[in-house]
């Protein structure tokens, strides 16, 4: 406990006053850097591990220059061998066991989140020692499928953090969350949107705190920010480095396929349409797998085998999309510059299944699944495959890659749903790579507004 004596209580942080000798005495728990654990939401892929390691070094160097102690900086992918720690809840008991008895705050950032430590301390010292959940507040404009239509009567009433701006848990809240995770038989289902699901878990239907909005937690740079978020990408890889596989079926040849041709097909170097029938007017290729109403695992594995065969041009990367996926191939090719195709890479929007009970992660199919040639080769060389033709292809791939030790790499620029299903404030600051579904939207207009570039962009 550190003591402050002052005659101007209005300028102080929230503390507990006592009166003595005409002065107001404040006994406060003042946070210093050594009281803060910074958790970088890192990933196992070599590019992301390197970037998060660089961020850790930058934070520690900044702390040394500041001379106010040194924070603990944890790379989440190094916390344990469990790949599902990215979903946060499995990681909280481990973080509490290591740091919960000495830390006042746990502050999560993404690997491209820049932190001004002095400003962060100013923010944290505004809040007394009780349960706090802090972040940049996002809201839904309408009930969203990715949030299971929660708060459908008033979607904007519930706030959840923009993780790119950083978010914080106070020590008392971390302690209670850990106890709950360890004592309750938590439902282990799908992890779809981590930001929203963490906020729901913490709120606990009104028994826990809602998110407190912190204006200093930012994504766009402006005066007074404690955090900002910027990602710079290099020059795009060649068109011919990416082979594009579009999954379709006969009943969608006349409505979905024309949208692809009117929007993003022209940006592909190599592209084939795979259907249940051959249609020379498109043209489509039949892989000998009957169409299924759901799953498509048999078709996807046939695509993987064709990708490695001599029937198609050799490429470093395979992109598998649905016929109602809208995608910016130029932006994807910029993103792929970050990755080494000689590594086994599975890239896209990451979902999870059963992660509380040692489940697995997968790249959700609607937003586009990107696989390096090495990953495809490793998968097909294994015994892992479909248990039926209509098994969910994206989940089977995720289970197989988890078994093979291939990390599922996440990019927030891929989207499984429509733009309307995401916070407008969040996606308006992105250069999105993909969206999915034509429900109640004009897909060509969505493509032109959100995905079509009028000039080359170096910054995503």
pLDDT tens across 309-364, in order?
999 999 999 999 999 999 999 999 999 999 999 999 999 999 999 998 889 999 99
pLDDT digits (tens, 9 = 90+) for 350-371: 999 999 888 999 999 999 999 9
Counted domains in the chain: 2
Domain boundary among 208, 229, 250: 229
pLDDT at 187: 77
pLDDT at 358: 86
What CATH number does the domain containing 155 carry?
Answer: 3.90.550.50
pLDDT of 456 > 60? The answer is no
pTM greater than 0.75 (yes/no): yes
Residues 276 and 146 in one domain: no
Residue partners of 449: CB distance under 8 A and separation at least 6: none
pLDDT at 19: 36
Where would I find the beta strands (DSSP E) of 357-407?
A: 360-363, 369-372
- Is residue 457 very low, low, confident or very high in pLDDT (cuts 50, 70, 90)? very low
pLDDT at 290: 83
pLDDT of 168 > 90? The answer is yes
Q: What is the mean pLDDT of the chain?
A: 91
d(CA 52, CA 45): 11
> Quick one: which of 67, 216, 162 has its CA closest to 429?
162
Q: Would 148 be classed as within a structural domain?
A: yes
Residues 334 and 200 in one domain: no
pLDDT digits (tens, 9 = 90+) for 91-132: 999 999 999 989 999 999 999 999 999 999 999 999 998 999
Residue partners of 427: CB distance under 8 A and separation at least 6: 415, 419, 450
Residues 269 and 417 in one domain: yes
Q: Would 79 be classed as within a structural domain?
A: yes
Residues 41 and 116 in one domain: yes
d(CA 214, CA 219): 12
pLDDT at 220: 93
Sign of CA dihedral 298, 301, 303, 306: negative
d(CA 90, CA 80): 10
pLDDT at 10: 35
d(CA 107, CA 443): 39
Domain boundary among 165, 196, 229: 229
Residues 146 and 247 in one domain: no
Residues 213 and 259 in one domain: no
Where is pLDDT greater, at 292 or 262?
A: 262
Residues 44 and 70 in one domain: yes
Where is pLDDT greater, at 261 or 454?
A: 261
Domain boundary among 172, 198, 229: 229
> Quick one: which of 179, 186, 176, 183 has its CA closest to 357?
186
| C-alpha R_g of the chain | 24
- Cβ count near 220 (within 10 Å): 10
Q: Would 460 be classed as within a structural domain?
A: no
Q: C-alpha angle 76/80/85, rounded to 5°?
A: 50
pLDDT at 6: 34
- Is residue 232 very low, low, confident or very high in pLDDT (cuts 50, 70, 90)? low
- Cβ count near 136 (within 10 Å): 26
What's the number of CA atoms in the CB half-sphere (13 Å) around residue 388?
8
- Give the largest Cα separation in the chain, rounded: 93
> What is the DSSP code (8-state) at residue 281?
T
291-303 average pLDDT score: 89
pLDDT of 397 > 60? The answer is yes
Residues 270 and 148 in one domain: no
| Residue 76 φ/ψ, nearest 5 degrees | -60, -35
pLDDT at 186: 83
pLDDT of 40 > 80? The answer is yes
Q: Would 255 be classed as within a structural domain?
A: yes
pLDDT digits (tens, 9 = 90+) for 43-82: 999 999 999 999 999 999 999 999 989 999 999 999 999 9
> Quick one: which of 273, 14, 61, 31 has its CA closest to 170?
31
Q: Would 18 be classed as within a structural domain?
A: no
pLDDT of 12 > 50? The answer is no
pLDDT at 453: 84
Q: Would 145 be classed as within a structural domain?
A: yes
Counting residues of the chain whose pLDDT is more than 70, the rounded percentage is: 92
Residues 134 and 257 in one domain: no
Residues 221 and 259 in one domain: no
Q: Would 94 be classed as within a structural domain?
A: yes
390-406 average pLDDT score: 97
Counting residues of the chain whose pLDDT is more than 90, the rounded percentage is: 85
Q: Would 7 be classed as within a structural domain?
A: no
pLDDT at 21: 37
Residues 190 and 293 in one domain: no
Residues 195 and 264 in one domain: no
End-to-end CA distance of the chain: 44
Q: Do 124 and 235 touch, CB atoms closer than 8 A?
A: no
d(CA 400, CA 390): 16
SS3 124: helix
Q: Can you give the residue range of the structural domain that contains 437?
A: 242-451
């Amino acid at each position: 406990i550190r003591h402050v004596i002052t005659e101007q209580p209005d300028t102080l942080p929230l503390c507990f006053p006592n009166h003595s000798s005409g002065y107001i005495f404040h006994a406060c728990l003042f946070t210093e850097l050594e009281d803060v654990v910074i958790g970088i939401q890192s990933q196992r892929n070599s590019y992301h591990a390197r970037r998060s390691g660089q961020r850790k070094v930058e934070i520690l160097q900044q702390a040394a220059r500041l001379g106010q102690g040194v924070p603990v900086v944890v790379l989440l992918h190094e916390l344990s061998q469990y790949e599902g720690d990215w979903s946060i809840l499995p990681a909280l008991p481990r973080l509490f066991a290591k740091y919960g008895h000495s830390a006042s705050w746990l502050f999560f950032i993404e690997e491209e989140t820049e932190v001004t430590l002095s400003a962060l301390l100013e923010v944290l010292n505004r809040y007394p020692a009780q349960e706090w959940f802090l972040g940049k507040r996002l809201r839904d404009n309408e009930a969203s499928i990715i949030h299971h239509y929660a708060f459908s009567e008033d979607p904007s009433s519930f706030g959840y953090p923009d993780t790119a701006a950083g978010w914080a848990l106070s020590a008392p809240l971390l302690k209670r969350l850990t106890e709950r995770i360890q004592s309750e038989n938590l439902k282990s289902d799908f992890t779809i949107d981590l930001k929203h699901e963490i906020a729901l878990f913490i709120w606990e239907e009104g028994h826990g705190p809602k998110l407190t909005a912190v204006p200093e937690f930012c994504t766009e740079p402006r005066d007074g920010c404690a955090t900002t978020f910027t990602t710079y990408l290099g020059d795009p890889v060649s068109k011919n480095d990416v082979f594009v596989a579009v999954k379709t079926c006969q009943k969608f040849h006349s409505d979905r396929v024309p949208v692809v041709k009117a929007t993003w097909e022209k940006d592909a170097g190599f592209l084939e349409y795979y259907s249940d029938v051959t249609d020379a007017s498109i043209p489509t290729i039949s892989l000998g797998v009957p169409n299924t109403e759901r799953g498509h695992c048999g078709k996807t594995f046939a695509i993987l085998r064709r990708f490695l065969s001599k029937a198609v041009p050799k490429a470093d990367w395979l992109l598998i999309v649905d016929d109602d996926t809208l995608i910016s191939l130029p932006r994807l090719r910029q993103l792929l510059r970050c990755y080494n195709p000689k590594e086994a890479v599975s890239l896209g929007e990451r979902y999870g299944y059963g992660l509380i009970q040692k489940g697995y992660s997968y790249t959700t199919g609607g937003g586009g699944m990107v696989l390096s040639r090495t990953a495809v080769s490793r998968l097909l060389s294994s015994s892992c495959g479909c248990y039926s033709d209509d098994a969910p292809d994206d989940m089977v791939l995720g289970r197989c890659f988890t078994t093979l030790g291939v990390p599922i790499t996440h990019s927030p620029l891929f989207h499984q749903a429509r733009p309307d299903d995401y916070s407008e404030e969040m996606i308006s600051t992105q250069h999105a790579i993909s969206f999915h579904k034509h429900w109640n939207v004009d897909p060509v207009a969505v493509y032109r507004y959100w995905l079509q570039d009028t000039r080359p962009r170096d910054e995503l």
